[in-house]
Amino acid sequence: MKITAAVLNSMGAAPPYAASRPLRIVELELDPPGRDEVLVRIAAAGLCHSDLSVINGDRPRPMPMALGHEAAGVVEQVGADVTDLVQGDHVVMVFMPSCGHCMPCAEGRPALCEPGAGANGAGTLLGGGRRLHCEAVTINHHLGCSAFADHAVVSRRSLVKLPKDLPLDEAALFGCAVLTGVGAVVNTARLQPGETASVIGLGGVGLSSVLGAVASGARQIVAIDLSDEKLAIARGLGATDVVNARAPDAAEQVRRLAGGGVDYAFEMAGAARAMQLAFEITRRGGTTVTAGLPPPTASLALPLVQLVAEERTVKGSYIGTCVPIRDIPRYVGLYRAGKLPVDRLMSGKLRLDQINEGFDRLHAGRVVRQIIAFPA
């Protein structure tokens, strides 16, 4: 079938993207779903820094590639062996498919699925195939989703079924921002009621971490960002204190507010300087968690004696250490109960042909989550 999609032909275009237009809206040929695959009509897709990091070259991927990984939609057709989804089901996409058989999957850690990671790096679906073509050129898939399109074929292992009364524009956020940000708090850190936290980097993932810390019963949440506007949003979502990272004494401010440091510091900016700050504001015996994705060349120097003598823990968190089929229904339930107001992360809606302008706003840090809404 013919579809319309946003395709990136090469990385490293210079902003403003409204002028350089790295993403081209083109007509592609989409193959029907193969074995254990599903055709989904996309209803809504969010613009995420993980997409931006491919556009600017921070996260190298094979080109050309149809971008987009945070999305929700409606099942239109299922391939062979798909028995638990039918036409009309509502689904959210998860950008790390899990095979269910490798060692991490067997250990209950599907976010670390080895075949899934291999397929994502190669630009294929979990089964190894590519279903997108432009004339004689095969187009790579982005994280098994390629969701900046009106339709996508994805692995069944990239989908979680949703209740049909959940608005699909809101549902899209659960596949990345909420799964990653809330999961870093509740799964990776396992923050307990009464403990303290700080979140550095208040994009969609960072603000989701603020929501996760509120829902987990943190008694103090210090939000840190370069933007006063985002600090105000964080306070409105439940942060007890805010600090602008531009302040030369930002670390000292946080330590003073938290009585020496926080129990958990969450780095969500994807920058080595932000991770350094996160480590500096973590108390003795505390844990520093990072879910940001800096360029592969970024590194961090830690004082090893401090790591040992203060019994510090530094942890990575990928997709919130999630089990999507378990966690997404839980987070949706919290949202419906009014305890996880993820709808307040939405900054506005776009048409697909406005995508480059949307990434300009994301690059400038002026928005949290923009949603591309596709007509029904």
Torsion of CA 264, 345, 224, 291, to 10 degrees: 50
Determine the pLDDT at residue 376.
Answer: 84
Determine the pLDDT at residue 178.
Answer: 98
Determine the pLDDT at residue 82.
Answer: 97
Determine the pLDDT at residue 295.
Answer: 87
Q: List beta partners, residue 199.
A: 223, 266
pLDDT, tens digit (0-9, with 9 covering 90-100), for 240-281: 999 999 999 999 999 999 999 999 999 999 999 999 999 999
Determine the pLDDT at residue 296.
Answer: 87
Determine the pLDDT at residue 152.
Answer: 98
**What is d(CA 359, CA 259) in angstroms, rounded to the nearest whole number?**
39
Q: Which residue has the tokens 């089901």?
A: 89
Determine the pLDDT at residue 245.
Answer: 97
Determine the pLDDT at residue 288.
Answer: 98
pLDDT beneath 50: ranges in the chain: none
pLDDT, tens digit (0-9, with 9 covering 90-100), for 128-168: 999 999 999 999 999 999 999 999 999 999 999 999 999 99
Structure tokens at 26: 């083109």
Q: Are strands 132-134 and 2-8 parallel, antiparallel or unpaired?
A: unpaired
How would you class 305 by CB atoms within 10 Å of its CB: exposed for 0-12, middle for 13-18, buried for 19 or more?
exposed
Which of 355, 349, 364 has the alpha carbon at shortest distance from 24? 355
How would you class 238 by CB atoms within 10 Å of its CB: exposed for 0-12, middle for 13-18, buried for 19 or more?
middle
Q: List beta partners, residue 290.
A: 267, 316
Per-residue HEC secondary structure of the chain comes to: CEEEEEEECCCCCCCCHHHHCCEEEEEEEECCCCCCEEEEEEEEEECCHHHHHHHCCCCCCCCCEECCCEEEEEEEEECCCCCCCCCCCEEEECCCCCCCCCHHHHCCCHHHCHHHHHHHHHCCCCCCCCCEEECCEEEEECCCCCCCECEEEEEHHHEEEECCCCCHHHHHHHHCHHHHHHHHHHHHHCCCCCCEEEEECCCHHHHHHHHHHHHCCCCEEEEEECCHHHHHHHHHHCCCEEEECCCCCHHHHHHHHCCCCEEEEEECCCCHHHHHHHHHCEEEEEEEEECCCCCCCCCCCCCHHHHHHCCCEEEECCHHHCCHHHHHHHHHHHHHCCCCCHHHHEEEEECHHHHHHHHHHHHCCCCCEEEEECCC
Determine the pLDDT at residue 211.
Answer: 98
* pTM of this structure: 0.96
Torsion of CA 51, 54, 57, 59, to 10 degrees: 100
